[in-house]
Amino acid sequence: MKIGITCYPTYGGSGVVATELGLALASIGHEVHFVSYALPHRLARFVENIYFHEVEMSTYPLFEHSMYDLSLTSKMLEVIEYEELDLMHVHYAIPHAVSAYLAKQVRKKAGKKIKFITTLHGTDITLMGLEPSFMPLVKFSIEESDGVTAVSRFLKEKTLTNFNIQKDIEVIYNFIDIEKYTPGNGKPFRKRLASCGEKVIIHTSNFRVVKRVTDTIRVLAKVKKEIPTKLVLIGDGPDRSECERLARELDLQKDVVFLGKQDAIEEILPSADLFLMPSQSESFGLSALEAMACGVPVISSSVGGLPELVIHNETGYIAEIGDIDRMAKYTIDLLTNEKKYKTFSKNSRERAVKHFDKNLIVPQYIEYYEKVLNS
Share of the chain above pLDDT 90, in %: 73
61, pLDDT greater than 70: no
- Name the phi and psi angles at 300, rounded to 5: -135, 170
Give residue 314's pLDDT. 96
Mean pLDDT, the chain, whole residue set: 91
Tell me what the mean pLDDT of segment 22-50 comes to: 91
Poorest-confidence range of 65-74, 101-110, 142-151? 65-74
**DSSP collapsed to 3 states, the chain:** CEEEEECCCCCCHHHHHHHHHHHHHHHCCCEEEEEECCCCCCCCCCCCCEEEEECCCCCCCCCCCCCHHHHHHHHHHHHHHHHCCCEEEEECHHHHHHHHHHHHHHHHHCCCCCEEEEEECCHHHHCHHHCCCCHHHHHHHHHHCCEEEECCHHHHHHHHHHHCCCCCCEECCCCECCCCCCCCCCHHHHHHHCCCCCEEEEEECCCCHHHCHHHHHHHHHHHCCCCCEEEEEECCCCCHHHHHHHHHHCCCCCCEEEEECCCCHHHHHHHCCEEEECCCCCCCCHHHHHHHHCCCCEEEECCCCHHHHCCECCCEEEECCCCHHHHHHHHHHHHCCHHHHHHHHHHHHHHHHHHCEHHHHHHHHHHHHHHHHHC
How do residues 69-83 score in pLDDT, each as one tens digit? 889 999 999 999 999
* Residue from 297, 239, 291 nearest 266 by CA: 291
Give residue 129's pLDDT. 46
How do residues 89-103 score in pLDDT, each as one tens digit? 999 888 899 999 999
Query: Which domains are present in the chain?
Result: 2-175+357-374 (3.40.50.2000), 187-355 (3.40.50.2000)
Tell me what the mean pLDDT of segment 144-165 comes to: 92
**CA–CA gap between residue 69 and residue 314 (Å, rounded):** 44
Residue with the bigger pLDDT between 135 and 314: it is: 314
130, pLDDT greater than 60: no
Query: Rounded to two decimals, what is the model's pTM?
Result: 0.90
Sequence-ordered list of residues with C-beta below 8 angstroms from that of 267, at least 6 positions apart, any chain = 184, 189
Tell me what the mean pLDDT of segment 294-298 comes to: 97
332, pLDDT greater than 50: yes
- Prior bond of 95 cis (ω within 30°): yes
Give residue 190's pLDDT. 80
**CA–CA gap between residue 259 and residue 318 (Å, rounded):** 26
How do residues 246-285 score in pLDDT, each as one tens digit? 999 999 999 999 999 888 888 899 999 999 999 998 899 9
195, pLDDT greater than 90: no
- In order of 122, 172, 282, the CA distances from 154 in angstroms are 10, 12, 10
